């Protein structure tokens, strides 16, 4: 995470001290490094076998400027809603580079996607196939489709972010895949282009990806034997990152291991949908200490960012390193770093040791993925701004919300005349 480094005792993002950003934009505040995003993107490009397509998973961080940076690099995009399609297009991404995943696509979303002529749908069920085929027929166009197949592989990750087990709601069971493909092959308004799976997120081992790939290749062979030849195989996202002491495989190792399995399939393009691996370590959440508090058994460091700003620690017991922005001489405290939200589960870190005093700035690291994207207005808290740093420049890429933003769309009801 070299774009976040200490110079002269102050944590910088690229060329800018975070202290300066706190003064300029206030806290809490998300800060991203453009160079870090570009570096991760390029790591995928450098090691991808040809032919391939990397489709950034928009859900990880869907800020328009983040999408713009990736669109300018020629990225594909994995989306899960009509809103994400619109964001990609608004940011300059190309419709033909969009793959539409998502387990519950509505009529309106499918119609919109077809009207925009997106690259393809990753279809999650027989019922969805029928719906897409009918809407495409109605629009007199052809929908390019892959099926998301559930390979029943244990991703060995947090149960909330494992998706490739039979017990999960995602995809078509492997045993049913052939029949579903056969049926799709007979529908005139769809064109089969590929197969897809996504087994989970924050994987720290290569083996589950390879197990899934092996199972998918058995399907590819079976389809080929029936005359259904696929143009690409989409292995989803899921490559983990280092939050604490995890040691996920480097991007190159993960890709080379998959490539080794694909040498006998030179015409089958590998698609990937990484989200976290591209943006997680490109962002921090900047927050200021409001109060120190202690009871007889525990210390609390109360900061101005809460679970509504960064939900991961509360929802998944996820670890994010939390560090001083400026080295402090304050006494050492061991306790929980907690936010202002009225929930016991509102913490950013537990049992951390830091030298802190009220007013100090802290950086919650690895917050670029599933950070702002999962934020909310719980407790009527305006969501924080997002800032993108590029060298010596800092751009406000999303303004801090105002209270008007928070209650936009709400209305008072007429005063009741029965009172
Ligand atoms: N493709 C599909 C179909 C997905 O469902 C996901 C993530 C991705 C790609 C990208 O996965 P990644 O490369 O980012 O692991 N909110 C959770 C993560 C949920 C991931 C959901 N699906 C978290 O904060 O850890």
In the chain, % of residues over pLDDT 90 = 92
Report d(CA 205, CA 14) in Å as an integer: 30
Whether residue 166 has pLDDT greater than 70: no
Mutate which of 62, 146, 275, 277 for ligand 1? The one with the most ligand atoms within 8 Å of its CB, which is: 275
Whether residue 319 has pLDDT greater than 70: yes
Ligand 1, residue 318: give the atom nearest the CA: 25
**Cβ neighbours for 100, distance < 8 A, ≥ 6 positions apart:** 79, 80, 85, 109, 113, 118, 120, 121, 122
Specify whether the CB–CB gap between 388 and 34 falls below 8 A.
yes
Ligand 1, residue 240: give the atom nearest the CA: 15
Cis peptide before 333 (omega within 30 of 0): no
Which residue's alpha carbon is nearest to atom 6 within ligand 1? 237
Q: How confident is the model at residue 50 (pLDDT cuts 50, 70, 90)?
A: confident
Whether residue 168 has pLDDT greater than 90: no
Q: What share of the chain is helix, strand, coil (3-state, %, to 5)?
A: 35, 25, 40
Ligand 1, residue 201: give the atom nearest the CA: 15
236 C-alpha to center of ligand 1: Å?
9
pLDDT number for residue 79 = 98
pLDDT of 239-259, one tens digit each? 999 999 999 999 999 999 999
Surface-to-core class of residue 10, CB atoms within 10 Å of its CB (0-12 exposed, 13-18 middle, 19+ buried) = middle
Cα–Cα distances (Å) from 337 to 245, 285, 286, 349, in that order, read 20, 13, 13, 5
pLDDT of 62-121, one tens digit each? 999 999 999 999 999 999 999 999 999 999 999 999 999 998 999 999 999 999 999 999
- Report whether 370 belongs to an annotated binding site: yes
pLDDT number for residue 2 = 80
pLDDT number for residue 154 = 76
Mean pLDDT, residues 142-154 taken together: 93
Instruction: Enumerate residues lining ligand 1, CB below 6 A.
Output: 57, 60, 78, 101, 161, 163, 198, 201-202, 236-239, 273-277, 312, 316, 370, 374
Which residue's alpha carbon is nearest to atom 5 within ligand 1? 198
Kind of pairing between the strands at 52-57 and 76-79: parallel
370 C-alpha to center of ligand 1: Å?
9
pLDDT number for residue 111 = 98
pLDDT of 356-377, one tens digit each? 999 999 999 999 999 999 999 9
Ligand 1, residue 373: give the atom nearest the CA: 16
Whether residue 37 has pLDDT greater than 90: yes
The one catalytic residue among 29, 55, 197, 342: 342
Whether residue 1 has pLDDT greater than 60: no
pLDDT of 340-352, one tens digit each? 999 999 999 999 9
Known active-site residue 342: yes
Whether residue 227 has pLDDT greater than 80: yes
* pTM recorded for the entire structure: 0.96
Mean pLDDT, residues 298-302 taken together: 97
306 C-alpha to center of ligand 1: Å?
22
Q: How confident is the model at residue 49 (pLDDT cuts 50, 70, 90)?
A: low
In the chain, % of residues over pLDDT 70 = 96
- Report whether 395 belongs to an annotated binding site: no
Residue 113's Cβ-side half-sphere holds a number of Cα atoms within 13 Å equal to 35
Which residue's alpha carbon is nearest to atom 9 within ligand 1? 237
Specify whether the CB–CB gap between 334 and 352 falls below 8 A.
yes
pLDDT number for residue 270 = 96
47 C-alpha to center of ligand 1: Å?
21
Whether residue 128 has pLDDT greater than 90: yes
141 C-alpha to center of ligand 1: Å?
30
pLDDT number for residue 106 = 98
Give me the chain's average pLDDT, please.
Answer: 95
Q: How confident is the model at residue 204 (pLDDT cuts 50, 70, 90)?
A: very high
Domains observed in the chain:
4-31+280-406 (2.40.37.10), 102-272 (3.20.20.10)
Q: How confident is the model at residue 45 (pLDDT cuts 50, 70, 90)?
A: very high
């Amino acid at each position: 995470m070299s774009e976040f480094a200490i110079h002269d005792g102050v944590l910088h993002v690229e060329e800018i001290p975070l202290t300066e950003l706190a003064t300029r934009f206030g806290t809490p505040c998300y800060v991203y490094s453009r160079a870090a995003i570009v570096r991760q993107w390029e790591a995928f490009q450098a090691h991808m076998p040809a032919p391939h397509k990397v489709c950034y998973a928009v859900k990880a961080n869907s800020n328009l400027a983040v999408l713009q940076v990736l669109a300018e690099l020629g990225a594909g995009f994995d989306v899960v809603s009509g809103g994400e399609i619109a964001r990609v297009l608004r940011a300059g991404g190309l419709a033909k580079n969009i793959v539409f995943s998502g387990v519950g696509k509505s009529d309106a979303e499918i119609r919109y996607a077809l009207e925009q002529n997106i690259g393809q749908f990753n279809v999650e069920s027989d019922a969805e196939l029928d719906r897409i085929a009918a809407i495409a027929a109605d629009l007199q166009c052809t929908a390019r489709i892959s099926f998301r197949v559930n390979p029943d592989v244990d991703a060995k990750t947090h149960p909330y972010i494992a998706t490739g087990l039979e017990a999960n709601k995602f995809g078509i069971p492997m045993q049913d895949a052939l029949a579903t493909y056969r049926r799709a092959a007979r529908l005139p308004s769809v064109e089969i282009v590929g197969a897809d799976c996504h087994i989970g997120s924050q994987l720290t081992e290569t083996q589950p990806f390879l197990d899934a790939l092996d199972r998918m290749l058995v399907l590819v062979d079976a389809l080929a034997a029936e005359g259904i030849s696929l143009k690409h195989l989409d292995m989803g996202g899921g490559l983990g990152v280092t939050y604490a002491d995890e040691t996920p495989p480097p991007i190159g190792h993960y890709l080379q291991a998959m490539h080794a399995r694909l040498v006998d399939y030179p015409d089958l393009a590998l698609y990937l949908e990484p989200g976290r691996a591209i943006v997680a370590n490109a962002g921090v959440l900047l927050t200021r200490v409001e109060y120190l508090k202690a009871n007889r058994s525990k210390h609390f460091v109360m900061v101005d960012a809460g679970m509504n700003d960064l939900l991961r620690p509360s929802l998944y017991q996820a670890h994010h390193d939390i560090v001083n922005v400026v080295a402090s001489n304050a006494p050492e405290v061991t306790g929980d770093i907690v936010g202002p939200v009225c929930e016991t589960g509102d913490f950013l870190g537990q049992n951390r040791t830091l030298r802190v005093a009220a007013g100090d700035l802290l950086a919650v690291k690895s917050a670029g993925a599933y950070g702002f994207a999962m934020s909310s207005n719980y407790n009527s808290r305006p969501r924080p701004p997002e800032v993108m740093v590029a060298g010596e420049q800092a751009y406000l890429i999303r303004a801090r919300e105002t209270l008007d933003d928070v209650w936009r769309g709400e209305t008072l009801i007429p005063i009741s005349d029965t009172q």
